[in-house]
Structure 1
Amino acid sequence: MSKRHLAMVAAALLTTASLAACGDSGGSSGEAAKTLTYWASNQGASIEFDKQTLQPELDKFEKQTGIKVNLEVVPWSDLLNRLLAAATSGKGPDVVNIGNTWSASLQATGALVPFDDATLSAVGGKDRFVPAALAAAGAPGQPPAAVPLYSLAYALYYNKKMFNDAGIANPPATWEELVETGKKLTKDGRWGLAVEAANPSENAHHAFTFGQQWGGEWFDQAGKPTFDTPQNVAAVKRYIDLMAVDKVVNPSNAEYAQNQSVADFANRKAAMLLWQAAGNNFKAQGMSPDEWGVAPVPFPAATPPGGKRINSMVAGINIAVFKHTENKDGALQFVKFMTSDEEQTILNKTYGSLPSVKTAGADPAFQAPEQKVLQEVLNTTAAPLPQVPDESEFETLVGTAMKELFADVASGKSVTDAQIKEKLSVAQQKMGS
C-alpha cells in the first residue's frame, strides 16, 4: 500500500474533527526534548478510568527521565482514522498504541519507526517479548513496526446468577447452545447476549473468527481480498442472525460503538458477552468478580466444510513511534519503560490482559481463571488476522458493512444471504480504490 493510497483512504474515512484533532507533536526542539505526546487506546471501562490508570505511571516516567508525557486516550471508534491521518500528514503524537491487526497497514505508510535489531536492543532486546505477540507487529520478513504492549484474546463472559436462575448449568460450547441459552435468558427486559454492533473493528474481528469456523478466508495467498465468498457470507449471517433471527441481542445494540455492551453486561441487562479481557472493566463498573464466569468462545456444533477450530483472533495492543517525532530517543525510552517488567505487571493486572514480555507472566495475577482461559485460547485456538497492508481497510469496510446490516435489522428489515453478499461485494470493490 503506497503513501498515496493510504492518503486517499484516510481522506475518505476521516471527518474534519478527526483531522483537527491531530496537531504537531511539540514546539521548539528544546521543548520537544522534554515532552512527548502519547495516544493510548481505550483499554478500560472508560476513558477516564484509563487516564486514572496511566497518569501515575507517566508521572513515574517523568520523575525518572525528566520527560513529560502528554496523554490522550483515544476511543477505538476513532483510533484507526486518527492514526491514518497522522501517518499521512506527518503531524500528530510521538508514541501511539495501535491494534496489532493494523501493524502491517500502518507499517506500509512508512510513517512508523521500524524496530530493527538496533532499535529493539534500545528497548530491551527482541528476546524479552513473547514470540507470538511480536509476530503480530508487522509484515513477515520486515522489521516490526511496533512492539507488543498488551496481549489479548476473545472469551465468552456469562452472568452466573442469571444462568442459575434459568436452570442453566454450564456456559454454551456451541453456537447452537448459545442461541438456545440466549433465548431462555431473554426476558423481563434482559437479553441473552450483548454485542458492539456499531463498532467496525469489533464487527470485523468477529467476521474473521466466524469466517475461520465456516471455512472462509478474507484474503487469498497473494493478499487479494476474497470478501464475498459463500463461506464468508454464511459466517457474517450467523453473527448478524443473533439479532435478526435468534433475537437474543437487543436491537438497540445496533448503535453500540464504545463499550456500551460491556456496560450492559456489568449492569445485568445482558447475560452473555463476547469480549477481550473484560473482567477489570466489570469491576470498574461495580460488578463483583464472583458474579461472572468466563469460557472459550463457542464453535459450530458440526464443523462446516473447510472450517477450522479457531475461536479468537490473536488480539493485542502494540506500541509504536512515529518518525515525525522530534525526540526519538525519548520516545524509545518511553517504549522501554512501558514494556518493562514492572509496568507490564502493573498495567496488565489493571486491564486483565496478558503481559507481552516473558518475564512478567509469572506473576500470580496472571494465573487467575480469566487469564488462564485467555492463555489457553491464545496457545491453542487463536489465529492472527492477515498481516497484509490492506488489513486495516478490511476492518473499516467489512466492519462498516456489518454495522449497516445491524442497523437494517434494528429498523425491522430482514437480512438475506443475497444482501450480505452484495454488501461484501461492494466492500471488496472499494478495497484499494
Structure 2
Amino acid sequence: MRKRIVSGVVATAVVAGLLSGCASGNNNANSGTNSGSNNDATNAEEKVTLSVWAMGDSSKPMEQMAEAFTKENPNITVKVQAIPWGSAHDKLLTAVASKKGPDVLQMGTTWMPEFAAAGAIADLTSDLANYPELAADNFFSGTVTSTQFDGKTVGVPWLAETRVLFYRTDVLSSVGYDQAPKTWDELLDVSKKLTERGKDKYGIGLDPKEPTLSFMFARQNGATLIEDNKAQFEQPAYRDTVAYLNEFFQNGYAPVDLGLDTAQTFGGDGMVPMFISGPWMIKTVKDQLPDIEGKWATAVLPSKENNMSSLGGSNLTVFNYTEHKDAALKFIAFLSKPEIQLEWMNLTGELPANMKAWEDPQLSDDANMAVVGEQLKNAEPMPLVKAWDNISQNFLKTFEQIYRADADIDAQLKDFNAQSQQLLDK
C-alpha cells in the first residue's frame, strides 16, 4: 500500500504497517479507567499496559520506540506483537464489532473514512490541545486534512509521501530544456520534443492505471472532485484535465503497455526521460542506474492553476473503545516528536509528517529529498469519503475506454459521474 523511503538511502520495500493497541477487556492494572479519564497515564502510581500490533518487520523498530517511551514513562508498558499486514483490515473490523481492540493504531489515509464512519476511531478534537507535539501546525497541511472527518479530528499525522517529477537533465537539455517543465504547457511541449527524437522515444511515463493520476491533475486545474457529497466529474475543469492527459497517449508522448520497468526506460539514452512517482524511486534510480549519476533530478510537479500533488501515508488513531485514551495519546505524542520521527525514518525508511523533521540535514541536504519536502507543502489526500476506493477504481475503467479506444470523453464522464453519485448515495 505504501512504499519505504530513507532520506539519502531510500528503501524500496513496501512500507510495513503498525497497529498498536490493547484489548479493552484485558487485565491491566486499574482496568476500570475510562477513556475520558485524564489520569490513566499521568498518575505515576498507576500502571498501564498498551499492546502494539506491528505488521511485518516493523515490530522490531517499534519495540525500540516502545522501550524509549517506557524509559520516559515508567508507568506505561508497551507490548509489541507482529501481525500480517494482509489481515489488519479484517482484524480491525472484528475489533469494531466486539468493541475490544487496539488502543492506538496506525491507519492508512484511505482507511480513515471507513473506520471513522463506523465509529472505530475516537474523536480527538478536544484532546489535542493537551499535547503540544500534536498541534496541527507541526505537520504538513495535507496530512492534517487526512485526519479530518465529519468536522472532527480523528487522528494525528504520522507518515507522509507524495508524488514528484523525475527527469533526465541531460536528455531534456538536448531538446532545449535546461530545467524541469514548470507549467502544463511546458510539460506538453517538452514531451512532444522528446518524442520527436526518433523511433521508440517518448516524452513522459504516465501510468494510466494509477488511481490518483487524473484526480491529482484535475486539482491542479482547479477542479473540485466532490462537493457536498455530489460528484463533480462532468465539470469543465475535470473534463479538460482528462482531455489534456489523453493527449499524451493519443500523440504517443506517453507509452501504453510498454512492458518495461523504469530502470529499462529511464536509463541509457532515456527512452522515457520523465516520469511521476514517489520518493521511494530515488533509491531505485540510484541503485539500478549508476550510469546516469549526475544526469537526473527531481522537481515539484508542473503547475496549471496550482501544482498540487497527491498525498499518501498513514495516521495514528485511538480506538474508540480504549480504556486508556490518555496513555494512548501520550504514546502518540512521543512518536510525533521530530527527533523520534527521524529515528523511525532511519530504522524503517518511512518519511515523517512532522515538518520540523524535514529541517534535519538528512533530508534538507539531499537535493532530491528536499524536493519531496517542498512538494509535501502542496499535497492533499484523495477525498475522505467511504466510497472513494470504488470511485477511483471505476475511473480506471472509464479512462481506459478514453485513452485506449478513443471513446467520447463527455459520454464517458457522464456515465462515470452517475456511477460515482450512486456510490456516494449509498
Taking structure 1 as the reference length, the TM-score comes to 0.67
Supply the AA of the counterpart residue of 1:171. Answer: A
> Are residues 185 and 96 of structure 1, via their aligned partners in 2, closer, same or farther at CA, if it must alter by over 3 Å?
farther
Q: CA deviation at 1:283?
A: 5.5
Q: CA deviation at 1:63?
A: 3.6
CA contact (8 A) 2:229 2:424 kept: no
> Are residues 376 and 359 of structure 1, via their aligned partners in 2, closer, same or farther at CA, if it must alter by over 3 Å?
closer
Deviations 1:25-80 (A, max 9, x none): 879835994642135xxxxxxxxxxx66x4542231344445343346758xx99x
SS at structure 1 position matched to 2:165? strand
Q: What's the counterpart of residue 296 of structure 1? A: 300
Q: What's the counterpart of residue 242 of structure 2? A: 236
> Are residues 359 and 184 of structure 1, via their aligned partners in 2, closer, same or farther at CA, if it must alter by over 3 Å?
closer
Q: CA deviation at 1:223?
A: 3.7
- Which of residues 357, 365, 368 is equivalent to 1:370? 368
The alignment's C-alpha RMSD in Å is 4.4
CA contact (8 A) 1:152 1:315 kept: yes
Q: Distance in 2 between matches of 1:128 and 1:384?
A: 15
CA contact (8 A) 2:338 2:356 kept: yes
The 10-residue stretch of structure 1 (25-34 or 158-167) with the greater mean CA deviation from structure 2? 25-34
Q: CA deviation at 1:145?
A: 0.9
SS at structure 1 position matched to 2:230? coil
Supply the AA of the counterpart residue of 1:311. Answer: M
Taking structure 2 as the reference length, the TM-score comes to 0.68
Q: CA deviation at 1:112?
A: 0.8
- Asked if 1:342 corresponds to 2:339, the answer is yes
Q: What's the counterpart of residue 178 of structure 1? A: 187
Runs of 5+ consecutive residues of structure 2 not aligned to the other structure: 1-18, 29-47, 71-76
Q: What's the counterpart of residue 149 of structure 2? A: 139
Deviations 1:158-194 (A, max 9, x none): 1334435666433222333323433454566564333
Q: CA deviation at 1:269?
A: 6.4
Q: Distance in 1 between matches of 2:333 and 2:400?
A: 43
Q: CA deviation at 1:319?
A: 2.1
Q: Distance in 1 between matches of 2:129 and 2:263?
A: 36
Highest Rg: 1 or 2?
2
Q: What's the counterpart of residue 420 of structure 2? A: 427
The 10-residue stretch of structure 1 (109-118 or 58-67) with the greater mean CA deviation from structure 2? 58-67
> Are residues 99 and 284 of structure 1, via their aligned partners in 2, closer, same or farther at CA, if it must alter by over 3 Å?
farther
Supply the AA of the counterpart residue of 1:192. Answer: G
Q: Distance in 2 between matches of 1:365 and 1:280?
A: 14
Q: What's the counterpart of residue 288 of structure 2? A: 286
Q: CA deviation at 1:313?
A: 4.2
* Residue identity (%): 20
Supply the AA of the counterpart residue of 2:225. Answer: W
CA contact (8 A) 1:138 1:387 kept: no
Deviations 1:322-372 (A, max 9, x none): 335687677545534432333311345688886433543431123233344
> Are residues 250 and 415 of structure 1, via their aligned partners in 2, closer, same or farther at CA, if it must alter by over 3 Å?
same
Deviations 1:182-218 (A, max 9, x none): 3454566564333443343x34xx41x3323434222
Runs of 5+ consecutive residues of structure 1 not aligned to the other structure: 1-21, 40-50, 301-307
SS at structure 2 position matched to 1:192? coil
Aligned pairs, number: 372
Q: What's the counterpart of residue 408 of structure 2? A: 416
Q: Distance in 1 between matches of 2:218 and 2:252?
A: 21
- Asked if 1:250 corresponds to 2:252, the answer is no
- Which structure shows the higher helix fraction? 1
